[in-house]
Structures are given as C-alpha cells and as structure tokens.
C-alpha cells in the first residue's frame, strides 16, 4: 500500500513541508510491513494554473505535465493532504493540483492535515468538500494542528503527544480503508 503525502503549500518558509516530513518519518518508524510513504511536494511539481482544453473529468489529458501528475497520483492507494489555512480557505496550489485530474482520485481514501489561525479547520472543511466531489473517500481522518506558529522554531516540525496519537489513528484508518 502506498500512502502519498501531498504538500499543499509552495510558499517560501512553509510549514507544510515540515509537517509532511514528520508524517513520512512516522510512517517509516512505525515499520508497517505493507505501507510505503511517498512525499509529493507541489513546489517541486510546479504545476502551472490548470488551463487544459478538456475538463479533467473526461480523462483526456492534453498537457504532458498533467499526464505525468495523473500517472503519479494513479500509483497511490491513499492520500494525506496537508494545507495551511489562507484567508479562511485552503492553499490555491493544492486546489490546482486536485483540479488537474479526474479518475485518479476516485475511490481512494484521503486524510487531511491543516494548520493556521483556526488550526486549519476551515481549510480542511473546504478540501473535504472538493475531495468528495472528485470521488475521494473521506476517511474522516483529520489532524488540526494547534499552536503551529509557536512550534515552528526549528527546521523540523515539533509534534506534541496529541499530534502523534492522532497521526497513528489517521494511519490506522487509511490502512483499514485500503485493506477492505
């Protein structure tokens, strides 16, 4: 089983990459025999604003980068989407990445991690709505990171006990959804 961790922020000094690395390390340390974590950084993918000739729901991808992104997402079994909260919403880079594709999201479970002024709750609410429209299975696995700004003093995300326990629950839910 491959869990793809999608870093939904491309800003300089972003926290999302630190959170994603924590998630990836946690999966690797848990030593699940059947789980592989893959980090997909939207900053590295550098997807331009979607402007394809065909709506992604058609599955007709006329841009090479769209085809490549589609192949990458198709290779995943489950997703953890990480987004900051920007102006009561989620990252435009993540919205763009989701909008690029259609069928590749369908039927696959997703979990959500948010952070920001309201612990990311508003960004998560919006991502879940879009995810449902795209056919993602909402695993009801959510992490809203509290006090993110006071815990962002080093190069690594500093999870607390609650974050670590909640991540374990999130991973257990994703594994169960894929295994059934």
Residue 80 is predicted with a pLDDT of 98
Contact 20, 39 (CB under 8 A): yes
Which range marks the domain in which residue 79 is found? Answer: 2-179
Tell me the helix, strand and coil percentages in the chain, rounded to 5. Answer: 40, 20, 35
Helix axes 121-134, 92-99, angle to 10 degrees: 10
For residue 51, how far is the Cα from the chain centroid? 22
Q: What is the pLDDT along the chain (180 residues), one digit of tens a residue?
A: 999 999 999 999 899 999 999 999 999 998 888 899 999 999 999 999 988 889 998 889 989 999 999 999 999 999 999 999 999 999 999 999 999 999 999 999 999 999 998 888 999 999 999 999 999 999 999 999 998 888 778 889 999 999 999 999 999 999 999 987
Contact 120, 83 (CB under 8 A): yes
**16-30 and 161-179 helices cross at what angle (nearest 10)?**
70
Report how far residue 24's alpha carbon sits from residue 36's, in angstroms, rounded to the nearest whole number.
Answer: 9
CATH of the domain at 8: 3.40.50.360
- Residue for token digits 């990459």? 17
Q: Which of 171, 163, 84, 166 is nearest to 121 (CA)?
A: 84
Q: What is the per-residue pLDDT for 152? A: 76
> What is the residue-wise DSSP string for 46-113?
-PPPP--SS-GGG----SHHHHHHHHHHHT-SEEEEEEEEETTEE-HHHHHHHHT-STTTTT-EEEEE
Report the domain count for the chain: 1
pLDDT for the residue numbered 117: 80
């Amino acid at each position: 089983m491959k869990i793809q961790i999608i870093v939904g922020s491309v800003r300089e000094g972003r926290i999302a990459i630190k959170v994603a690395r924590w998630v990836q390390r946690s999966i690797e340390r848990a030593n699940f025999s059947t789980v592989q974590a893959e980090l997909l950084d939207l900053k590295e993918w550098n997807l331009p604003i979607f402007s394809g000739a065909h709506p992604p729901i058609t599955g007709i991808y006329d841009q090479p980068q769209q085809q490549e992104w589609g192949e990458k997402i198709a290779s995943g079994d489950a997703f953890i989407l990480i987004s900051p909260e920007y102006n009561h919403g989620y990252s435009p880079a993540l919205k763009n990445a989701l909008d690029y594709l259609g069928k590749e999201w369908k039927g696959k479970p997703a979990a959500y991690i948010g952070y920001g002024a309201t612990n990311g709750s508003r960004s998560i609410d919006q991502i879940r709505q879009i995810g449902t429209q795209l056919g993602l299975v909402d695993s009801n696995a959510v992490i809203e990171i509290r006090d993110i700004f006071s815990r962002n003093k080093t190069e690594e995300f500093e999870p607390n006990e609650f974050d670590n326990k909640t991540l374990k629950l999130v991973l257990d839910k994703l594994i169960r959804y894929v295994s059934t």
